[in-house]
Structure 1
Amino acid sequence: MTQTTALRVRASRARSLGGLLAVRVLGALAVLLVLSVLIFSLMYLAPGDIVKNLLGNRPTSPEAVAAIREQYNLDDPAWMQYLKWLGAFVTGDLGQSIRLQVPVADAIASRVGITMLLCGLAFIIALVVAIPLGVHSAVRAGGWTDRTGNVLAVVGLSAPTFAIGLLLLYVFAYYLRIFPVYGAGDGGLDTLWHLILPAVTLALGLGAIIVKLTRTAMLRELETDYVTSARARGIRESQVRRIALRNAAIPIVTGASLVLTFLVGGTVLAETTYALPGLGTLLQDSVLFKDIAVVQSLTLLVAVVIAVIALLADLAYLMLDPRIRRSGGRVA
């Protein structure tokens, strides 16, 4: 193959992969568009009068009602209200919180740091513990490590997040007094120390899924012909396991990326259990007080984050699987 032909093949593959990624981006945008319609409809699906729901506990007066109707464009047709709301969301104007009396963007910005730190810490703990445990469970299938890993995975998958949180609070915060009971601390290492128990609470459920993914992927690779051939040629077992793990990394990485969405639902319960001032408690309080502007914006933001995670998982799959790179988006 000449150099010119090789360059053409590479360019063709790049265009194919770019086209495949563009299709997935458009698909994600279409899903987000549908979700935005459903989320905007929350204002109309809530029981009671829209204006009274938006006013909440504030005194009702003709001036207040008129201000609310103007702020939310309630005198316009529903489709025009939706377009104005979506246009404002895209430009960063998330509206005004009725309960907090601050812009929604400011309310979210003041709490997003705690939630991101909590999710990041939980994800790191889950990866550091679950991947080695899953690999060892596959290598020692049927042994005590495998049985222990399966028991922990079942507990992590079946136990509710709030139940795990309360148990850890009782043992490590109340009985042993190692960790603080609630709150986010005073910043820096103190905040990190306050987030360890909530992160472990979330990591148990997330890690259980990753353990299962890792064990299944490793078992499949260890039973393949190339592993048998490598062992027959006298290659060290540790090197064989590294090769198998490298090939098993494709489903592990993509699966771990997708199960990050587990943190979205779990964070609400964990932050409530540990009284953390994050996005989870903000969403819960906003639902209870019918702060619709916050609920709409935060729900759509969560949907955007999940869509981005799914796209990154697709991108990781495309980058890790050489078959897709060679075939330009089609698995050979």
Structure 2
Amino acid sequence: MGLIRYIIVRGSLIILTVLILYTLVFLILRVLPGNPVLAALGTKNIPEEQLKELMNELGLNKPLYQQYFEYLLNFIQGNMGTSMIIRGRSIASDIAMRLPATIELSIWSIVVAIVIGIGLGYTSVISGRKPLMDSARIFGSLTYVIFIPALGLFLQLLFGVWLKLLPTSGRLSPSYYVEPITGLYTIDSLIEMNIPAFMDAIRHLILPSITLGLVLSGPFTRLTLNNMVKVMGSKMVMAYRARGIREELIARHVFKHVLIPVVTYAGLQFAMLLGGAVLTETTFNWPGIGTYLVEKVMYRDYTAIQAVVIIFAIIVGLASLVVDILYVLIDPRVRH
């Protein structure tokens, strides 16, 4: 019951967070100088009567409080509005088409980050070699400050242009087609048993997921290493060794203690993961929600920007909630 009550409270906080972010974006977009319709159309040569007609059609001539609550109510009902750039185009359908690409990239990137980060931190401590641990710490510090587009361009040049081993953009080669079921090409191709398309989707994922995953792996390395060193020096481990327990079993037990702060950080990292996905998608021309948001910001497409921000806030909030629930599964002593 305590966990259920906690989930309800956290769910309420997610709603509050979404409302705060929506309010901030709503106000910021409307205090920016210039007319949004002219920015969306990319021209100032438009008759005054036609401009007023477009403003009226988009509801931008209504009082701000009315625009605020109307959009919020429509969003709750599943109506995210239509694009200001392509009139009549549903934003919900655009997001439904683009979001799976970002989710797929994020999943593979976090897998790369966890495998590299936790693996390197764990291995360096278990080895007991100080030079290896120092190297892992340096790796963790350097990767965290790498500029994602710079790393992405370097990998594109190395593996795409010079070695010609991997594709540098897109999700799938033009010669392959995958019927969208989940929107995740690696999953959909396996469902269809289309192995060539699956391999091609993997090849397209390698460079962007390594780029984003490598940047995110640094903090995982340092967090795992520092916590492993701390726990390995505790009285608990000394007692295990005094009883003659093998080092492999001790390391495995210590790793369970380290998992809790690592999982905590993984949840907090999810927000950064989405932010990094925007840069990665732009670098690799990945057709996800990040590149979609960049396009809409350039043209000040109010309704699209608001919808994407709300979706991002909901995803981050749900990810944090899932992480909190995982606490109980990893360590039964944790109670909410």
TM range (shorter): 0.7 to 0.9
Cα offset for 1:142? 5.0
Cα offset for 1:26? 1.8
Query: Which amino acid is 2:140 matched to?
Result: A
Q: 2:263 is matched with which residue?
A: 253
Q: 1:10 is matched with which residue?
A: none
Query: Which amino acid is 1:21 matched to?
Result: I
What is the distance in 2 between the residues matched to 1:213 and 1:121?
Answer: 20
Q: Is the 8 A contact 1:122 1:200 kept in 2?
A: yes
What is the distance in 1 between the residues matched to 2:109 and 2:222?
Answer: 17
What is the distance in 2 between the residues matched to 1:54 and 1:288?
Answer: 8
What is the distance in 2 between the residues matched to 1:59 and 1:203?
Answer: 46
Cα offset for 1:58? 9.0
Q: TM-score, normalised by structure 2?
A: 0.86
Q: 2:310 is matched with which residue?
A: 300
Cα offset for 1:227? 1.2
* Equivalent position to 2:115, from 128, 133, 151: 128
2:295 maps to 1:285: yes
Q: Is the 8 A contact 1:97 1:103 kept in 2?
A: yes
Cα offset for 1:136? 1.6
Deviations 1:265-308 (A, max 9, x none): 11111111111111111111111122222111112211111111
Q: Is the 8 A contact 1:111 1:277 kept in 2?
A: yes
Cα offset for 1:165? 0.6
Cα offset for 1:56? 4.4
What is the distance in 2 between the residues matched to 1:171 and 1:263?
Answer: 24
Tell me the secondary structure at the aligned position of residue 324 of structure 1: coil
Deviations 1:160-210 (A, max 9, x none): 101111111111111111111222223532222112101000001111111
Q: 2:172 is matched with which residue?
A: 185
Query: Which amino acid is 1:119 matched to?
Result: S
Cα offset for 1:315? 1.8
Query: Which amino acid is 1:109 matched to?
Result: A
Q: 1:69 is matched with which residue?
A: 56
Query: Which amino acid is 1:245 matched to?
Result: F
What is the distance in 1 between the residues matched to 2:163 and 2:135?
Answer: 25
Count of residues in Structure 1 that have an aligned counterpart in Structure 2: 311
Distance change >3 Å, CA 106–CA 59, structure 1 → 2: farther
What is the distance in 1 between the residues matched to 2:294 and 2:221?
Answer: 30
Q: 2:134 is matched with which residue?
A: 147
Q: Is the 8 A contact 1:165 1:270 kept in 2?
A: yes
Higher relative contact order (CA 8 A, sep 6+): 2
Q: 1:8 is matched with which residue?
A: none
CA RMSD of aligned residues (A): 2.1
Cα offset for 1:137? 2.2
> How do 1:1-332 and structure 2 match up within 5 A?
14=1, 16-57=2-43, 60-61=46-47, 62-63=49-50, 65-72=52-59, 74-101=60-87, 102-140=89-127, 143-186=130-173, 187=177, 188-189=197-198, 190-325=200-335, 329=336
Q: 1:3 is matched with which residue?
A: none
Structure 1: 5+ residue runs without aligned partners? 1-13
Cα offset for 1:224? 1.9
